[in-house]
Structure 1
Amino acid sequence: MEIPNSIIAILEDDLVTKALPLFLLVIVIESIYAAKKHLDWYERRDFFSSMGVLLLTGLIDLVPKILGIAAMFALYELSPFKGVFERQWWSWLLLFFIDDFVYYWFHRSNHELRIMWAGHVSHHSSQFLNYGTALRQGVGERVIKYAYWLPLPLLGFDPVMVVIMMSISLFYQFWIHTQAVDKLPVPIEYVFNTPSHHRVHHASNVRYLDCNHGGTLIIWDRLFGTFSEELSEEPVVYGLTHNLESQNVLTIAFREYRLMFRDMARAERWSDKLRYLVNAPGWSHEGPDKRARTLRRQQQASTA
């Protein structure tokens, strides 16, 4: 299959790929700072596992990305609104909010549907939060990711604009994966996703589970009830509720799929097998219910 020049141009101009040397430089600076301050932000094996996941993600992402962008161009040609949103400033501004809204639901889906969590969990598998963790992306999530953005070309947005905005969002999200930045002024914390908000997102504490899914903005979490503030009285514990014992890249990337299919095989009813795909992680046909919302309700009831 011959790849159209328009898609090749987008792939070659990908902002996140071009920014990779900058990301690596920032990692070096942060790790040196942590070492001088005797902060346990980095662990050697964990960091190299993150880099391995990054490489694996890049390989798996290539075909879905090409197919996704090709679909965007095809849908754009079919759109009755083609040409409405040229590259004026207000079109970019409108696209910024729409893209961030789509990202919120994509990211929330990654946490609330187990089939998608299986592809996203690798990003949360590290028990450390640093700029290396930012590059430990969800591997399997790449297969379905671009489908969430397909409605945007149908709305009349140029696919090139859509892909650029997706890249800008990912570029922004790199810097919030750090413990080096404390809370920012209240107006910024209220509107934007910040390091404080994203530390909560990477927490395994019951209070913080499955919160703060926003990309650039945190307003969607506030609107849809998934916001949690970082509290000084409850320090964040990074990682999963049941952490991996392995630093093997393939285990990090694909273990949850194996566990999900094992659970499905145990269920006798087809309705229960389906629930293992579409319910949130922690649901079991045998009980008890260990989904994040259930655990949080139990915690709140016990402290009331």
Structure 2
Amino acid sequence: MNVHIVNQGVQPILLYAVPLIVGCILLEWWFTRHDEHRKYDGRDFRASLGIGVGSLIINALLKAATVGISWYFYKLIPWRLPNTWWVWGLAYLSIDLCNYVAHYVAHTQRVWWATHVTHHSSEHLNLSTSFRNSWTQHLKIIFFIPVWLTGIHPAIVFACYQLDLLYQFWIHTEVIPKLPAWFEYVFVTPSHHRVHHGRNPQYIDTNFGTTFIIWDRLFGTFQEEIEEPVYGLTKPVESFNVIYLNFHEWADLWRDVRKSKTVREAVAVLFGPP
């Protein structure tokens, strides 16, 4: 099997889900249209939509390269895991753990924060906020190399990655309250993710899980929703320009690196906290 066949096998699951996504957004808009606190803001929604469309275009342009990279690492190891239900489960768990690690690092090292800050730029939280995926997020592909080295076929890995990404859509909302305790203990819920998007002091840098909140519970980054979150960045970005929202942190990072007097200072700027 070659890269072309793998590329053909990577199904666009997210595109198949577009009707459901649009329907859910329309439903949320309807429920919140008279709520001054939660209703959609036109400029904010257009910014989220613009970022999302740009992200889809970049995904399409980089699909072949991403599949090629995954195939390269998959071919490095001599064993193969079968296409069975437990391998799909292992792939999903592995992807989710890698997402947790990538998400955590993106909040603790500035160069990776530049690939993620766009997602936190909105001062609202609704389903459209899930569209705010940075146009430079593909740099985080290195965090998923361990999954390709397990012997799981890349087509399975990509399918599970898309499913994990699709799961994250519904947790970006204020409409859904806390869910039953058993569900809240295992899975990431809107309540957990509201905390993650909050800039309240006790909420910053918590709840990095994407599907499973168990990683946060295991690694000490879990935070319960105990007060109403205030969304956005600690230093708000007063712009709805999608280019600025994607690249302002990169510009600031480059400026600070240029100011560095030594290589050590430059490294500290790149890999120090945001």
| TM tier relative to shorter chain | over 0.9
**Alignment partner of 1:229: what SS?**
coil
* 1:102 maps onto 2:98 in alignment: yes
Q: TM-score, normalised by structure 2?
A: 0.94
Instruction: Give the stretch that moved more between structures: 155-164 or 27-36.
Output: 27-36
Secondary structure at the aligned position of 2:114 is classed as helix
Name the residue aligned to 1:130: 126
Q: 1:117 Cα deviation (Å)?
A: 0.7
Q: 1:10 to 1:115 in 2, by over 3 A?
A: farther
Which residue does the alignment assign to 1:29?
A: 27
Query: In structure 2, what is the Cα distance between the partners aligned to 1:38 and 1:241?
Result: 23
**Aligned-pair identity (%):** 37
For 1:168 and 1:4, how far apart are their aligned partners in 2? 22
Q: AA paired with 1:58?
A: L
Flag as ranges the 4+ runs of structure 1 deviating above 6 A.
none
Q: The residue matched to 1:264 in structure 2 has which SS?
A: helix
SS in 2 for 1:61: helix
CA distance in 1, matches of 2:113, 2:169: 20
- What's the TM-score, normalizing by structure 1? 0.85
5+ long unaligned stretches in structure 2: none
Question: Whole-Å Cα distance in 1 between the matches of residues 255 and 19 of structure 2?
Answer: 40
State whether structure 2 residue 55 is matched by structure 1 residue 57.
Answer: yes
**Aligned match for 2:205, one of 201, 207, 210:** 210
Letter in 2 for 1:14: P
Contact 1:60 1:139 in 2 (8 A): yes
The one-letter code sitting in structure 2 at the alignment partner of 1:256 is E
Q: Which residue of 1 aligns with 2:188?
A: 193
CA contact (8 A) 2:38 2:174 kept: no
Q: 1:239 and 2:232 equivalent?
A: yes
Deviation sequence 1:130-160 (CA, Å, 0-9, x none): 0110111122112x13222222222110101
Residues 180-215 of structure 1, C-alpha deviations (whole Å, 9 max, x = no match):
111111111111100000001111111111111101
Aligned residues: 273
1:96, CA displacement in angstroms?
2.0
C-alpha displacement of 1:59: 2.6
Which letter maps to 2:5? S
Q: Distance in 2 between matches of 1:151 and 1:40?
A: 40
Rounded Cα–Cα distance in structure 1 between residues aligned with 2:201 and 2:174: 20
Q: Shift of residue 269 of structure 1?
A: 2.6
Aligned residue number for residue 77 of structure 1: 75
1:220-239 pair list within 5 angstroms? 220-231=215-226, 234-239=227-232
> Distance in 2 between the 1:20 and 1:249 partners?
21
Contact 2:32 2:39 in 1 (8 A): yes
Q: Does structure 2 retain, via aligned residues, the 8 Å contact 1:128–1:238?
A: yes
Per-residue deviation, 1:64 = 3.8
- Separation of aligned partners in 2, 1:94 and 1:270: 41
1:154-187 Cα offsets, whole Å, 9 max, x none, are 2110101100000110111100000011111111
Distance 1:218 1:6 in 2: 35
1:146 to 137, 141, 148: 141
Deviation at 1:7, TM superposition (A): 4.4
Cα distance 1:251–1:10, how it changes in 2: closer, same or farther (>3 A)?
farther
Structure 1 contact 119–138 (Cα < 8 Å) conserved: yes
Measured in 1, the distance between the counterparts of 2:192 and 2:111 equals 25
Separation in 2, partners of 1:235, 1:254: 29
CA drift at 1:91: 1.4
The 8 Å contact of residues 46 and 126 in structure 1, kept in 2 or not, is answered as yes
